[in-house]
Amino acid sequence: MEQKDLLGGKGANLAEMTRLGLPVPPGFTITTEACRAYLETGWMPPGLDREIDEHVAALERTMGRRLGDPHDPLLVSVRSGAKFSMPGMMETVLDIGLNDASVVGLGRASGSERFAYDSYRRLLQMFGATVLDIDAAAFADELEKLKAERGVFADVDLDVADLRTLVATYQRVIRQRTGRDFPQDPREQLHAAVRAVFSSWRTDRAVLYRRQEGIPEDLGTAVNVQVMVFGNRGPGSGSGVCFTRDPASGAPGVYGDYLADAQGEDVVAGIRNTVPLAGLEDLDKPAFDQLTEVMALLEEHYRDLCDIEFTIEDRHLWILQTRVGKRTPEAAFRIAHAMVTEGVIDPDEALRRVTGDQLAQLLFPHFDAAAERIHLTTGVGAAPGAASGRVALTSAKAVAWADLGEDVILVRRETNPDDLPGMIAARGVLTARGGKTSHAAVVARGMGRTCVCGADGLDIDVDRGEVLVGGRVVLEGDVVSIDGTTGDVLLGAVPVTDSPVLRHLDAGEEPAEVDRALVDAVAFVMAHAADVGRLEVRANADTPEDAARARRLGARGIGLCRTEHMFLGPRRELVERLILAEDQTARESALADLLPLQRADFVEILREMDGLPVTIRLIDPPLHEFLPDHTELAVEVALEDAHGHRSTRHHALLDAVARLHEQNPMLGLRGVRLGIAVPGLVAMQARAVLEAAADRVAAGGDPRPEIMIPLVATAAELVLVRAEVEKVASAVRTERGVDVPVRIGTMIEVPRAALTADRIAASADFFSFGTNDLTQLTWGFSRDDVEAAFFPIYRDRGILSVSPFESIDVDGVGALVGSAARLGRETRPDLHLGVCGEHGGDPRSIHFFESVGIDYVSCSPFRVPVATLEAGRAALEGRRTP
Ligand code: ADP
Ligand code: MG
Ligand code: MG
């Protein structure tokens, strides 16, 4: 067990800093184990109160002062601190140990009565709100009232008499609200504060934060009891927070804020304006110098950006907390790179410190930072990106305006499946209700649409065609902009800039000077990821343009080239002819006309991917997808007949549509089944691929086509189709006189195929796991139907934490993939294994695929950098735990 598991991050780091000889106020830590026991039973574990008293007694001996001493009292803080940092989510109580008697002693011993009463009112307020559960506003209101009465703006302008009054008022508030007096016994205060901090693990905001950050519920918090040091002892004292580098940009230099005559809470609470850390140098040079030394030492020790809380008491520096600091994606890459350059960490460590999600954020377009913005409100950034457009309050409006070529933002209170057309048509989606798992958020993310949801500052009136927000009226048709990362909603069009990182990766564009450090950092980490990664990254690409882009972005081939797109548009008519063919001659003639068109497609793609594998999937969707809609056609035919313009072709087509209609197309005549049912289809497609490859060989190229057969469920299907492809291959070889290399393999996307992978492998050179269909068929979920319909409910009810279509379901679908991989390789040790579902671009899934020995993943071209980065990280993980 790590120290942090028991002591929490704060406790472990306090111990570490003490060990390093830094000026840390003495104290002790109550373990997370005690907290877990308390939360489970509702009782303090036996003996804990006594143990706390013993440790306090030891502290008192060390400090030569006693808790509650009426002459010179010891004061302590009681601080929460879990294993993972949850800033501001749980409670802390300062100045424990003050009461009506010891406050007098503190005033006398410190020579400042004002300071003593300032501390006492703070204790009453924090204890009242945290331990006694009194609404914090009750105290804040009294403070405001007093300031108004005295005609002052800041708490530092209140004098001793005012603070005495405030103490009396706060004590009255406590009596009125709880029916009891504020406990005068310091030990009672301490025990109650410890219980309150334990309980603060369970507050709503803490629970919500953990859910969002993926922090387990059952860890509990440690409690740190620590001797108080005082930043509120007059102008020579103060409190601050600082960072060893800029956590926003990663730029070197020290950053932070300082507030004179204040306790730590005041700095973040924003009650007075802080001064930038550099200002401390003028106020107290020795303390500033000492602090910069401490910062350097901590960064060297933790080998990372540190964030530090400090307090200066009478020109004496105390360090109260440090942790490895949270940072933006930009800072993460820049700091990782800078630290390699400085020789602090090695490239492997740099790679471990960034994530694919962070990279993805850097690849999205952003609003121009320099552009002026009028802020309307802020919601939840649910799907990243930046989008501007006209406000449309209904799905129909969004569709209509988008059809006219307008950019549209669909603005709804919340969305439901009926809004889908509008969401598709819009540039972005904005809702007033719902969080990251709302319908709008889930669907928008799935579509790659920018989305801000839960912007509850929006008051939407669809009938009047207006939105009230922040005292303004925004009319339907007005332009707004939404930032799917920050959740900001802005008035008007804000210029959007493409990511400099993407422009560099995609087009090799030289970055502007301000972006150079970031672009260099990403390039450095990416190069290392590509170096150490074992898992190859290919792209899903159906066109030469996509193939070229994927290659520029680092793809090592195409893992999925769908051929059905090649049957659309003007070629649809040829497919109709194929379907309507009544005899072999008609069928062959339709196929013969399709052949040269398909061949030309493949020549171009193979050219773009010269020297790299291109996996071409034979036609997969049901044939009726290429035919007109049944209802529309029926109406047309009826009208023609009524007007005496009977069309034989349309009648034949209508018959075919009716004949091909399926109750459950997803489970019907598609994939390999189609290839077997429609004679000549497989041969035509195989011939197009192989002749294209032969053309490329003749032109001096290095084509590496792979023919992939979809939806195989039994080895018998594959045996049949493979033989057909091989026959074509040898025919083309003879006709062209060139040896065309080709691999023939199958998708594993039907559970039965996964279960019988050992037999299927006998006829396959490779497997490509189609994890989309495999997930649908394993769960019995029709993706298009279920994701919007009830996944949000399933997530709210805790049945699913993440959609199995987004991230591989390791226990179910993943187990099938793992066992199929093993079975396949039992038959054919050199069997090549890939994944071509959307999971191929998902970081968590990539780590899983690495762990079961998959050879490559394939994802959309834009996802290739993210997958490459995660493949590198996954390889490092594998190395650490062999
Ligand atoms: P959080 O985890 O929310 O930051 P902390 O336990 O760090 O809570 O405490 C809140 C504030 O109180 C911080 O600014 C901290 O510096 C200050 N503080 C905590 N303990 C002491 C202490 N012993 N002396 C002076 N200030 C303290
Ligand atoms: Mg803190
Ligand atoms: Mg499929």
Nearest protein Cα to ligand 1, atom 18 = 264
Residue in the structure block whose two tokens are 């313009």:
645
Maximum CA pair distance of the chain? 111
Q: What is the pLDDT of residues 284-303, one digit of tens each?
A: 999 999 999 999 999 999 99
Nearest protein Cα to ligand 1, atom 3 = 88
DSSP track, 735-752: HH-S----EEEEEE-SHH
87 Cα: distance to centroid of ligand 2 (angstroms): 7
79 Cα: distance to centroid of ligand 1 (angstroms): 7
Q: Which of 297-301, 430-434, 578-582, 869-873 has the lowest average pLDDT? A: 578-582
Best residue among 94, 119, 203, 319 to mutate for probing ligand 1, ranked by most atoms within 8 Å of CB: 94
How much of the chain, in percent, has pLDDT values that exceed 90? Answer: 74
Residue in the structure block whose two tokens are 């709100």:
129
Nearest protein Cα to ligand 1, atom 24 = 228
11 Cα: distance to centroid of ligand 1 (angstroms): 12
316 Cα: distance to centroid of ligand 1 (angstroms): 17
Ligand 1 pocket: which residues have CB below 6 Å? 25, 77, 79, 88, 92, 94, 226-229, 263-265, 309, 311, 320-321
272, 266 in Cβ contact below 8 A?
A: yes
749 Cα: distance to centroid of ligand 3 (angstroms): 6
Phi, psi of 787 (to 5 degrees): -60, -45
pLDDT at 665 over 80: yes
pLDDT at 184 over 80: yes
CB atoms within 10 A of CB 82: 23
- Mention every residue, 6+ apart, whose C-beta is less than 8 A from residue 339: 303, 304, 345, 349, 350
Nearest-angstrom CA–CA distance, 196 and 185: 17
Model's pTM, two decimal places? 0.83
Nearest-angstrom CA–CA distance, 341 and 716: 57
Nearest-angstrom CA–CA distance, 342 and 347: 11
Among the atoms of ligand 1, which is closest to the Cα of residue 90? 3
Name the CA dihedral angle for 578, 581, 587, 593, rounded to a multiple of 10 degrees: -50
- Which residues have CB atoms below 5 A from the ion given as ligand 2? 321
Predicted local distance difference test score (pLDDT) of residue 437: 58
Predicted local distance difference test score (pLDDT) of residue 881: 45
396, 420 in Cβ contact below 8 A?
A: no
Give exposure, 24-35, as e/b (b: 16+ Cβ within 10 Å).
Answer: bbebbbbbbebb
Among the atoms of ligand 1, which is closest to the Cα of residue 230? 25
Predicted local distance difference test score (pLDDT) of residue 145: 95
- Mention every residue, 6+ apart, whose C-beta is less than 8 A from residue 29: 7, 8, 11, 14, 15, 81, 222, 223, 224, 225
Predicted local distance difference test score (pLDDT) of residue 582: 84
Nearest-angstrom CA–CA distance, 340 and 351: 10
Q: Coil, strand or helix: which one is 446?
A: helix
Average pLDDT over residues 544-550: 93
How buried is residue 263: exposed, middle or buried, by Cβ count under 10 Å (0-12/13-18/19+)? buried
- Where does the pLDDT of residue 882 fall: very low under 50, low under 70, confident under 90, or very high at 90 and above? very low
Beta strands 366-367; 238-245: pairing state: unpaired
Ligand (nearest to CA of 206)? 1
512: its two tokens: 């502007």
Helix, strand, coil percentages (3-state) for the chain, rounded to 5, are 50, 15, 30
864: its two tokens: 């290739």
Nearest protein Cα to ligand 1, atom 1 = 88
pLDDT at 848 over 80: yes
Q: Which of 293, 304, 349, 347 is nearest to 326 (CA)?
A: 304
Predicted local distance difference test score (pLDDT) of residue 1: 62
562, 617 in Cβ contact below 8 A?
A: yes
25, 226 in Cβ contact below 8 A?
A: yes
Predicted local distance difference test score (pLDDT) of residue 856: 98
Catalytic residue among 836, 839, 847, 859: 836
Q: Which residue has the higher pLDDT, 386 or 787?
A: 386
Predicted local distance difference test score (pLDDT) of residue 201: 95
684 Cα: distance to centroid of ligand 3 (angstroms): 21
Among the atoms of ligand 1, which is closest to the Cα of residue 267? 14
Best residue among 17, 309, 316 to mutate for probing ligand 1, ranked by most atoms within 8 Å of CB: 309
- Where does the pLDDT of residue 448 fall: very low under 50, low under 70, confident under 90, or very high at 90 and above? low
Amino acid, res. 576: E
282 Cα: distance to centroid of ligand 1 (angstroms): 25
Nearest protein Cα to ligand 1, atom 20 = 77
- Where does the pLDDT of residue 474 fall: very low under 50, low under 70, confident under 90, or very high at 90 and above? very high
Nearest protein Cα to ligand 1, atom 17 = 264
50: its two tokens: 């006594």
Nearest protein Cα to ligand 1, atom 19 = 77
292 Cα: distance to centroid of ligand 1 (angstroms): 20
- Mention every residue, 6+ apart, whose C-beta is less than 8 A from residue 301: 16, 20
Rg of the chain in Å (alpha carbons): 34
| Segment 324-328 long-range contacts (CB within 8 Å, at least 24 positions apart) | 325/243, 325/244, 325/247, 326/85, 326/87, 326/247, 327/247, 327/248, 327/250, 328/247, 328/248, 328/249, 328/250
Predicted local distance difference test score (pLDDT) of residue 367: 87
* Distances in whole angstroms, Cα of residue 285 to Cα of each of 23, 292, 315, 316: 17, 11, 10, 11
Catalytic residue among 191, 337, 366, 439: 439
Predicted local distance difference test score (pLDDT) of residue 366: 84
Ligand (nearest to CA of 130)? 1
Ligand (nearest to CA of 200)? 1
Q: How far apart are the first and last CA of the chain?
A: 20
Order of strands across the sheet with 316-324? 275-276, 252-260, 238-245, 306-313, 316-324
Sign of the Cα pseudo-torsion (11, 12, 14, 19, in order): positive
Mean pLDDT score of the chain: 92
Predicted local distance difference test score (pLDDT) of residue 446: 56
Catalytic residue list contains 316: no
Ligand (nearest to CA of 29)? 1
271 Cα: distance to centroid of ligand 1 (angstroms): 16
Nearest-angstrom CA–CA distance, 339 and 334: 9
Nearest-angstrom CA–CA distance, 445 and 426: 13
Nearest-angstrom CA–CA distance, 558 and 560: 6
Best residue among 24, 79, 96 to mutate for probing ligand 1, ranked by most atoms within 8 Å of CB: 79
Best residue among 77, 317, 322 to mutate for probing ligand 1, ranked by most atoms within 8 Å of CB: 77
Average pLDDT over residues 46-71: 95
Ligand (nearest to CA of 88)? 1
Beta strands 558-562; 613-617: pairing state: parallel
Among the atoms of ligand 1, which is closest to the Cα of residue 309? 16
Among the atoms of ligand 1, which is closest to the Cα of residue 86? 2
Ligand (nearest to CA of 89)? 1
92, 123 in Cβ contact below 8 A?
A: no
Catalytic residue list contains 71: no
239 Cα: distance to centroid of ligand 1 (angstroms): 10
Nearest protein Cα to ligand 1, atom 14 = 264
Predicted local distance difference test score (pLDDT) of residue 424: 86
Q: What is the pLDDT of residues 558-568, one digit of tens each?
A: 999 999 877 87
Q: Which of 743, 779, 768, 742 is nearest to 824 (CA)?
A: 768
- Where does the pLDDT of residue 214 fall: very low under 50, low under 70, confident under 90, or very high at 90 and above? confident
